[in-house]
Structure 1
Amino acid sequence: MADGLKHHILSSPRHGGYSSARQEQYGQYLRKLHADFLETWNEKSPDNSKLSDFLKQTVLGTGAFGVVILTKHIDTGKYYAMKMLEKEKIVKLKQIEHSYYEKKILCGLNFPFCVYMKYFFKDNVYLYYILPFVPGGEMFSHLRKLGKFDEMSSRFYGAQVILALEYLHACELVYRDLKPENILIDRAGYIKLTDFGFCKLIRGRTWTLCGTPEYLAPEIILSKGYGMSVDWWSLGILLFEMSAGYPPFYASDPMRIYEKVVSGKYRIPSHFSMELKDLIGRVVQIDTTRRFGNLKNGVLDLKNHKWFRDIDWDSLLNYRIPAPFQPKIRSPGDTTYFENFDDEKIKESPVCLYEEEFADF
């Protein structure tokens, strides 16, 4: 009886909370953003730049399909992150469809806590996604450096992730790759979700097994068919990892991780507050009919949870809350917060490779 009462107290909103009326008003704003997104989605956006418009500076990161390079737009002097995806690698790894959707999604995104496509073009060898340069680097680097975040920082970042996921879901997009490596910190200390390679427009369910093992929801692993619920599960994993310094389910072998995820058993660190324990228990919840974010009240259950009682959601959206950490950026192209990578050898070809496969891009 006492436990039941405790749960009720922890999950009930503070006096006032984020009301249904405010949520309905915010929902109207999201519906407008959804309409804008669909308008972009349904039109073919042509190449709007070319490689000679940019000066390559330094490598920011490397991945399975190519490299991300800091680049400077010659005409405007602005810095961007240029994601160069090698067509041959995309074809070999059977990722043409994912790359196509990532391009379409990035072109349509318009939200403070998500990156977006500024320019797009392709040449004989590569696809080029030109994105804003986010100078604070990956959350992952800051988390590893500090070991773990205090709960105030986890709350600040977690609340922005909730708003970003709420926006994506309003646009009928499931993200499927939430993790500290895919969260960038901007110059104000706020977040930007990046890497939309696994993001997908869905109306109903999807069955694809994709994502990062430690962050996969059980319904993905069990091939049950799933929807937006998987992103709320991964929010719980992120809140845990930010506050503990490690995820709740981990092992050296991915199959062992999957077993642990499906069992749903994990140990909560003793330093977690009662409110954080309660919140994680409600999102890292195997039963999707009981998982916060996925219930009748939707995102309101999260916004009104006691752990978030100090968050002014409207002020957060408008960058009016001071960030717990603000990167010291000395110049517009400062890469202090990124690892040093060797220069990548850029490939060339006299003929256009895989022209047919990438005709729709």
Structure 2
Amino acid sequence: MRRNGIHFVTSAPYNPSSNRLAEHAVQTFKEGMKKMKEETVETRAVRCTGTFGRVFLVRDKKTRGFFALKAMKIPDVIRLKQEQHVHNEKEVLTEVSHPFLVRLFWTHHDQCFLYMLMEYVNGGELFSYLRSRGRFSNNIGLFYSAEIVSAIEYLHSKEIVYRDLKPENILLDSEGHIRLTDFGFAKKLSERTWTLCGTPEYLAPEVIQSKGHGRAVDWWALGVLIFEMLAGYPPFFDDNPFGIYQKILAGKLEFPRHLDFYVKDLIKKFLVIDRAKRLGNMKNGADDVKKHRWFKSIDWDCVPSRKLKPPIVPKVCHEGDTSNFDTYPEDEWKKDTPVPAKDLEIFKNF
């Protein structure tokens, strides 16, 4: 069962075959969406559904390119007080450019919806592969962890905290490399923030305690993720969120016997209650993580250039292949009442 974040839920994306195609397709989308002409944009399937948003696989009929179109109901965004998170997501995705992060091409709004046009990443969620296998081998977990470290290091260099690392938010492209998606909780930080957001099993202690948090929460979440990838379940789980929070704050770890000695040491250093002593959050930052013994076989120069060989290559027949995702019915979701002009004012720059 997929785990929803405390606030903001949605995901999905793909890698267009060329930048030139993508740029041309985006221009066509701009014209088509503003005119709302059905002959310009073709909706193929609903890739993901959430509290107030859905991600549609769409195709530009002119260029034949596939994209993920995230549509969010403005009344629901306002009702759930998610205006700032939506603006944060746009701000972050507009600024970043990295091989392991999903790309945003264009944003727009009409009287009912906010739109974000992104890559369609057609290999499916890491979550699906983890659930089907039960758990990953040490080498598989090592590969994904290395690419995630590269992505986190890049985000932190931009003073961005991701805040929602989990298997459900990691997509695989057609070659098997990762893309982090769903930046609804991401935020540009100069110091600390106090918003309670994220997925219960992955929350750092400082978030639960409302002490104010920063980029250290992403390294805590990576420790939880590595544990879950290799064990098949997260280190702190319970039937209800409060039980999970109690276990996180207690900080007691019980490792499965099969885990490698060095990976257990790495996880322990990530899951440190005192963030000042947490690996990745000390003086040398991500370099301390890269130098850990568990990563000794990784050539870090090869990671961002996508030269490591992916351990899982998704079965993808073509760019618009949807077989690696669940499909949801469109129903009447797209029909909605236009919002008042005063509410639209909040999103005038979206």
Shift of 1:50: 4.2
- 2:8 corresponding residue in structure 1: none
**Cα distance in 2, alignment partners of residues 265 and 242 from structure 1:** 19
- 1:297 corresponding residue in structure 2: 284
Shift of 1:173: 0.6
**Cα distance in 2, alignment partners of residues 50 and 296 from structure 1:** 50
- 2:164 corresponding residue in structure 1: 177
Shift of 1:48: 4.6
- 1:231 corresponding residue in structure 2: 218
Is the alpha carbon distance of 1:348 and 1:255 closer, same or farther for their aligned partners in structure 2, counting shifts above 3 Å?
closer
What does residue range 102-251 of structure 1 map to in structure 2 within 5 Å?
A: 102-251=89-238
- 2:85 corresponding residue in structure 1: 98
Paired residue secondary structure (1:127): strand
Shift of 1:212: 0.5
Amino acid at match of 1:253: N
Shift of 1:75: 2.6
Shift of 1:243: 0.6
Paired residue secondary structure (2:118): strand
User: Which of 59, 80, 96 is matched with 1:72 structurally?
Assistant: 59
**Percent identity at matched positions?**
45
User: Which of 339, 344, 347 is matched with 1:355 structurally?
Assistant: 344
**Cα distance in 1, alignment partners of residues 247 and 148 from structure 2:** 25
Shift of 1:343: 2.2
CA contact (8 A) 1:66 1:83 kept: yes
CA contact (8 A) 1:50 1:121 kept: no
| Structure 2, unaligned runs of 5 or more | 1-28
Query: Is 2:284 the counterpart of 1:284?
Result: no
Paired residue secondary structure (1:130): strand
CA contact (8 A) 1:82 1:130 kept: yes
CA contact (8 A) 1:123 1:352 kept: no
**Cα distance in 2, alignment partners of residues 323 and 49 from structure 1:** 38
Shift of 1:169: 0.7
Length-normalised TM-score, structure 2: 0.87
Length-normalised TM-score, structure 1: 0.84
CA contact (8 A) 1:49 1:120 kept: no
CA contact (8 A) 1:238 1:247 kept: yes
**Cα distance in 2, alignment partners of residues 159 and 186 from structure 1:** 16
What does residue range 251-270 of structure 1 map to in structure 2 within 5 Å?
A: 251-270=238-257
Shift of 1:141: 0.8
Q: Over residues 170-224 of structure 1, what are the superposed CA-to-partner deviations in whole Å (9 max), with x where a residue is unaligned?
A: 1111111000011000111000000000101110111111111100000111111
CA contact (8 A) 2:171 2:181 kept: yes
**Cα distance in 2, alignment partners of residues 214 and 344 from structure 1:** 32
Shift of 1:266: 2.0
**Cα distance in 1, alignment partners of residues 190 and 268 from structure 2:** 28
Paired residue secondary structure (2:108): strand
Shift of 1:351: 6.6
CA contact (8 A) 1:102 1:196 kept: yes
| Structure 1, unaligned runs of 5 or more | 1-46
CA contact (8 A) 2:74 2:339 kept: no
Amino acid at match of 1:331: H
What does residue range 23-42 of structure 1 map to in structure 2 within 5 Å?
A: none
Number of residue pairs matched?
Answer: 315
**Cα distance in 1, alignment partners of residues 340 and 212 from structure 2:** 38
Q: Over residues 270-310 of structure 1, what are the superposed CA-to-partner deviations in whole Å (9 max), with x where a residue is unaligned?
A: 00000111100110111112210011121111101111111
